[in-house]
Amino acid sequence: MIHDKKVNVLFVCMGNICRSPTADAVFKQYIQTAGLANHVYVDSAGTHAYHTDEPPDKRAQNAARKRGYSMHELRARLVESQDFIKFHYILAMDKNNLEILKERCPPTHHHKLDLLMKYSTQWNTLQEIDDPYYGGSYGFERVLDLVEESSQGLLTHLLNHDLKN
């Protein structure tokens, strides 16, 4: 049985137009499919304000759409100080953005910060989701592969820890 407790998950990359909105869209669909939409809140943000209020990169949207994910309603935003309070999980796509989060985050909330790939079965060999922005379409497909796999691990973790009866 699922408790009425809300778990808030924030995905973070640099500009919030490629990797973190991809994770946002994928995980929202996983949560919806699992019947947990009333129990888990999902959002994404960036550590830099390069693209504030812009939609995700068209290449990310196209790759996501091919796999049945919708990103059209998402808009880039910057990580805000209240995010460190509001969210239970703040998951960076790479170590650089994780370090930026650690610098901005009050020490009492550091336990919320981690890498999304921690929840992947590939964790021992791969800990980061590389930024596809300056590459070709293959990079966006690779991001989706890694996000899908690690999101399944995150969902399992939430069910076994935060949402178990």
95-107 pLDDT, tens digit each = 999 999 999 999 9
User: Where does the pLDDT of residue 125 fall: very low under 50, low under 70, confident under 90, or very high at 90 and above?
Assistant: confident
The yes-or-no answer on residue 131 being catalytic is: yes
Reply yes or no on whether the pLDDT at 67 is more than 60. yes
SS (H, E, C) 7-44: EEEEEEECCCCCHHHHHHHHHHHHHHHCCCCCCEEEEE
The yes-or-no answer on residue 13 being catalytic is: yes
User: Where does the pLDDT of residue 3 fall: very low under 50, low under 70, confident under 90, or very high at 90 and above?
Assistant: very low
Are 34 and 162 within 8 A, CB to CB? no
Q: Which helix (DSSP H) or strand (DSSP E) does residue 89 occupy?
A: strand 89-92
Residue in 53, 105, 131, 145 annotated catalytic: 131
Residue in 18, 19, 57, 83 annotated catalytic: 19
User: Where does the pLDDT of residue 124 fall: very low under 50, low under 70, confident under 90, or very high at 90 and above?
Assistant: confident
The angle formed by the CA atoms of residues 38, 92 and 55, to the nearest 5 degrees, is 70
Q: What is the pTM of this model?
A: 0.95
The yes-or-no answer on residue 53 being catalytic is: no
Domains of the chain with CATH codes: 7-161 (3.40.50.2300)
**Spatial distance between the Cα atoms of 128 and 162, rounded to a whole number of angstroms:** 24
Which one is predicted more confidently, 137 or 62?
62
**Residue 137: per-residue pLDDT:** 85
**Spatial distance between the Cα atoms of 116 and 95, rounded to a whole number of angstroms:** 10
For residue 94, give every residue at least 6 positions away whose Cβ sits within 8 Å of its Cβ, in sequence order, or none. Answer: 13, 115, 128, 129, 130, 131
The mean predicted confidence, pLDDT, of the chain is 94
Residue in 13, 18, 57, 83 annotated catalytic: 13
**Residue 4: per-residue pLDDT:** 55
